[in-house]
Amino acid sequence: MKRRPRVSFVSLLCVLAALATRALAAPALPTLDGAPDALVSFLYDGQASNTFLASWPATTTERELDAARHERTRTFTDPKTGLQIRIVFITYRDFPTVEWTVYLKNTGAQDTPILSDIRSLDMAWTQPAGAKEFFLRHPAGTFVPPAPRDYQPLEQALPQGQTAHFAPLLGRPTGDLQPYFNLDFGDHSGVVLGLGWPGAWAFDFVRDATTGVRVRAGQELTHLRLHPGEEIRTPMVVVQTWSGDWIAAQNQWRRWLRAHNMPHANGQAVGPLLAAANSEPVFEMVRRTEANQLEWMGRYAEEKIPLDLWWIDAGWYENNGRWQEPKAFRADRTRFPRGLRGVTDHAHAKGLKTLVWFEPERVMPTNELYQAHPEWLLPNPTPNTISRLLYLGNPEARAWLTDLIDRRLTEEGIDIYRQDFCVLEPGSIWRHHDAPDRQGITENHHLTGYLAYWDELHRRHPNLIIDSCAGGGSRNDLETLRRALPLWRCDYAFDPSSNQCQTYGLAPWWPYYGTATPADQLRPYEIRSNLTSPLAIISWDMADRTRPYDTLRRAVTDWREYAQNYSGDFYPLTPWTLATDKWMAWQFDRPESGKGVVQAFRRPSNLERTLHVKLRGLDPQATYRFTELDEKATHPTRTLTGQEAMDPGFDITSKEAPEAINLVYEIISNARMTK
C-alpha cells in the first residue's frame, strides 16, 4: 500500500498565512464545476467553443492523487465529428492553487474540421470597487545572445482599453520572456499564473473599459485538423490566488514549486550542491582525458575543498575537434580508455555524484545519426544552418533516443543527465514543417514527445536527476521544471553584478538554479557574487598551486553555511539595478528553522559605506543572532529581536568597495516558547 505524503510544515505556514490575511479576500479559484468555456476556448470549424461545447455529451471522473491533490476529469465529445475534449483539472489542498491541461483527440473516422486559436486559459477577472489599476509583474528570460539584464524583473500597469501581449522569440519558452505572471488586482490581492509548455506560448491581458481583465494563454499558433486517432494537448495552466502582499505571494509560489513542481531524488528535494569541472573555455572537454579528470579530483581533495558533484561537460565523446560536432554520444576511448566509467567510478569512490552533458535534439552532419536516419530529422530553414532537429514527435526516433541514453546512464555510471538544447530557433523549424491546415502540429507532437522521453527516463531510473540546460536557461517552463532542475541558469555567467541581478530576478519565480565562478575571479567579492545559487560550480585551475587556496577554502565554507537558506522565502531589500555605484541586497528566510541569510553587495563605484535594511518574515518576539561570515567583519555578531530587525531595521557597513557581506542569522531565544 502506498503511503500518503504528509503536508509539509512550510505548506502549513502558507495556509496559516492565508488565514491570517483572510480579511483581504483572495480572488476565487477557478473550478471545473461550471461551463468549460469559463476556463478554455477555441474555434472549431470557425465557431467559438462557448457556443457549443457545454452542449456536447460529457462524462466526469474523479480520483485522489495523494493527500494534497484531487484530480477531476471532464470529457466532452462531439457526436457529429468525434472530436473529444478532455480537461484534466487538479486542485491542491495545501495551497490556493489549481492546474489543468486540455487534451483534444479525434475519435472519428475522418479528419476533423479546423481547430484554431486554442487557448487553455481563457478567464476574466473583475477588481473590486475602489481598487487601484491592475498591475503586472513578470520576469525576463535569457536573451540571444545572453546579456547582463537576463532575468530582469519587469512590471507594467494595465490601463483600461489596452491589451498586453507576450510571446517568446523563436519558440524558446524562457528565452527573452518567461510564461510566469503575477497579476495584481490593485486591492492587495491577485493571481499568479504559469504555463507548462516547452515551446512557443502566448499570453494576452485584455483590459476592458471598466474594472475587468480577460486573460488568454496557450500555444502561440494553432490552426490544424486532427487525423483519425490523433491527439494533441495544450499547455498546462497553473492559477494560484493570493491576498495581502505581492512579495508574500511570490514566496507562496516558491513554496508550491518546491512542494509540487520540483523533481525529487530518493524522495527528497535536492539540496545545495557544490560541483567542480575540469573543462576549459571554447574547447570545453574536447582536450580533456581520464587522467586529468582524476588528477583534478585529487587536487580538490588535497586542498581540502569538499565537493558533492563532478561535472563532465560537452566534448567527452567522439567528435570532429569541436564540442558542437559529436560523431556519436559515445566516450572517446583514445582519451577515456575505460569509457566514462574510469571517471565516474573514481568519483563515486570519493563520495561524489557525476553529471554528464548530452545534446540529442541538435544533430550535426558529423553525427552518425545524420546519415543513418535522415527521416527522423527536421531540416532547419534558417540560412547557412546545417544542423537538423531530432523530431521527438516520431515514436521510432524517441524510442531509439530513450534506449541510447538509458544505456549510457547505466553503462557509464551517470547520476545527473544534463540535456542541452542549442537550437536557437525551434519555432521556425516546427512551423516550416507544418502544412497550411496543420499549423502547430509539429511543435505539439515534438513537445509531447520531449516530455514523454523524460518521463520514460525517470521511470527507468527513479532517482535520476535531469539538468535542463537548453542553451543556458531557455527552456524552463513548468512542465520542464516538474521533471528537471536548471543547473546552469544562464550563459552570461561570469559578471559579478549580473550574477547578483540574476539571483534577484529569478528567486521569486524559481526555487532552484545553478551558476559558476570562473578560474580568473578569485577575490571574495567576485566569488560571493557568482556563487549566489543553490548549485554552485567552481572551475579553478587546480594545476596552479600558487592560487589563494585559503581564500578559496573560506569561500566554499561560507557558501555551505548560507546556501542552505536558498530554499527559504525570498525578500528583496534594495531595488534591482546593474549600476556599479549602488548596493544590492536580499534576504532568504527559513521560518520553519528560524534561520536565514542577508546578502549585501557594495559595488565597485559605490561611495556609500552603509546600507540600511529592514528584514521581512521574522518572528517579532524572537531574539536573533546575526553573524557576519568574514574574518575581518565590521560587525562579527549582533543580537536583535525580530521586531528590531524588521522595523526600524539596522545598518550594514562596508569597509571597502567592492565588498560582499553575508549575514547568517538564527533564533537564539523565543519569548513565545519561554512563557
Which pLDDT tens digit goes with each residue over 222-233? 999 999 999 999
Q: What's residue 281's pLDDT?
A: 82
Where does the pLDDT of residue 35 fall: very low under 50, low under 70, confident under 90, or very high at 90 and above? Answer: confident
Please write the tens of the pLDDT for every residue from 87-110. Answer: 999 999 999 999 999 999 999 999
Tell me the three cell numbers of residue 460: 527507468
Whether the pLDDT of residue 130 is over 80: the answer is: yes
Whether the pLDDT of residue 14 is over 90: the answer is: no
Give the side-chain half-sphere CA count within 13 A for 296. 24
Whether the pLDDT of residue 365 is over 80: the answer is: yes
Backbone dihedral angles phi then psi of residue 222, each to the nearest 5 degrees: -140, 120
Q: What is the pTM of this model?
A: 0.95
Residue intervals of the chain classified under CATH 2.70.98.60 are 9-264
Identify which has the larger pLDDT, 18 or 645: 645
The C-alpha atoms of residue 271 and residue 12 are separated, in whole angstroms, by 21
Is the preceding peptide bond at 486 cis, omega within 30 degrees of 0? Answer: no
CATH of 9-264, one of 3.30.360.10, 3.40.30.10, 2.70.98.60, 2.40.10.120: 2.70.98.60
Backbone dihedral angles phi then psi of residue 627, each to the nearest 5 degrees: -125, 125
| Terminal CA-CA length for the chain | 43
Q: What's residue 22's pLDDT?
A: 39
Alpha-carbon torsion (400, 401, 403, 404), positive or negative: positive
| Integer angstrom CA distances of residue 73 from 33, 65, 70, 89, 339 | 11, 12, 10, 6, 48
Q: What's residue 13's pLDDT?
A: 47
Q: What is the pLDDT of the chain when averaged over all its residues?
A: 95
Which residue in the block uniquely carries the three cell numbers 521560518? 591
Q: Which fold has domain 268-565?
A: TIM Barrel (3.20.20)
Q: What's residue 280's pLDDT?
A: 86
Tell me the three cell numbers of residue 396: 521510432
Identify which has the larger pLDDT, 282 or 120: 120
Which residue in the block uniquely carries the three cell numbers 514527435? 393
Whether the pLDDT of residue 39 is over 90: the answer is: yes
Of the candidates 337, 316, 357, 361, the residue with the CA atom closest to the CA atom of residue 198? 361
Q: What's residue 267's pLDDT?
A: 84
Amino acid at 150: D
| DSSP class of 631 | T
Whether the pLDDT of residue 18 is over 60: the answer is: no
Please write the tens of the pLDDT for every residue from 585-630. Answer: 999 999 999 999 999 999 999 999 999 999 999 999 999 999 999 8
Q: What's residue 118's pLDDT?
A: 99
Q: Which phi-psi region, left, alpha or beta, contains residue 471 (left: φ > 0; alpha: ψ -120 to 50)? A: left
3-class secondary structure, 357: strand
568-674 belongs to which homologous superfamily?
A: Golgi alpha-mannosidase II (2.60.40.1180)
Whether the pLDDT of residue 7 is over 50: the answer is: no
Please write the tens of the pLDDT for every residue from 612-623. Answer: 999 999 999 999
Q: What's residue 24's pLDDT?
A: 64
Where does the pLDDT of residue 254 fall: very low under 50, low under 70, confident under 90, or very high at 90 and above? Answer: very high
Please write the tens of the pLDDT for every residue from 455-469. Answer: 999 999 999 999 999
Residue intervals of the chain classified under CATH 2.60.40.1180 are 568-674
Taking a C-beta distance cutoff of 8 angstroms, is the pair 570, 507 a contact? yes
3-class secondary structure, 235: coil
Q: What's residue 672's pLDDT?
A: 59
Q: What's residue 673's pLDDT?
A: 52
| DSSP class of 55 | G
The C-alpha atoms of residue 445 and residue 392 are separated, in whole angstroms, by 7
Please write the tens of the pLDDT for every residue from 159-181. Answer: 999 999 999 999 999 999 999 99
Taking a C-beta distance cutoff of 8 angstroms, is the pair 490, 472 a contact? yes
Which of the listed ranges 22-26, 145-149, 328-332 does the model predict with the highest average pLDDT? 328-332
Identify which has the larger pLDDT, 671 or 2: 671
Taking a C-beta distance cutoff of 8 angstroms, is the pair 27, 191 a contact? yes
